[in-house]
Structure 1
Amino acid sequence: MSASRVCALSDLEQDAAIRVEVDGVPMAVVLDSNGEVHAIGDTCTHGDISLAEGFVDGDTLECWAHGSAFSLRTGKPLNLPAYEPVPVYAVTIEGDDVLIDPTVTKK
């Protein structure tokens, strides 16, 4: 499978998340304060909550419902109640296009 365009880079606001879906895979896409774009699984592993509705702080995305924060780089939860990581997807920027392949996860 190849990467799909999910949005324009100019559509992203710094320190905010948007929800996208690629081939049925929900993802939260974030432009962090350093200008880096991240894509992680959009569903909190503690509850069935969209992480894109959460809060970005540095390189973390916090679930609004119960406060679990996930690393945008590794997908690992940084505090309870979540203890399972979310997937992290490789992001490619081509011009103003943000591309993600849902079959390629970062390790």
Structure 2
Amino acid sequence: MLKIEAIFRPERVNAVSNALVEEGVTGFHYQNVTGQGRQAGIEVVTGRGGTTATRSAVSKTLLVTVVEDDKKDAVIEAIVSATRSGEIGDGKIFVSAVSDAIRVRTGESGDSAL
């Protein structure tokens, strides 16, 4: 099993959700997060005079799902296709191993708990 964590632009949530469901992934969580990447923030125009300021914290969405190993490539491609614009700030995807999962209600474990 693999945990896939994706950080991307908030306006792409629906596109990502739809893409995951199309791949058969219906269990995932997402939340609004704030942070900065390599670009160290964004420049924003403040006030009428066109003054600019650098905002180091940028709003993003963090999506987390756990999938069977054989779904990894399809899930990553679905997320990339739904989020890539080619611009700075498109996001990142992290993949890590999960040793076990337990469905609390039934006691199932492993892939069957997903």
TM range (shorter): under 0.3
Q: TM-score, normalised by structure 2?
A: 0.26
Give the TM-score taking structure 1 as reference length.
Answer: 0.28
Structure with greater proportional strand content: 1
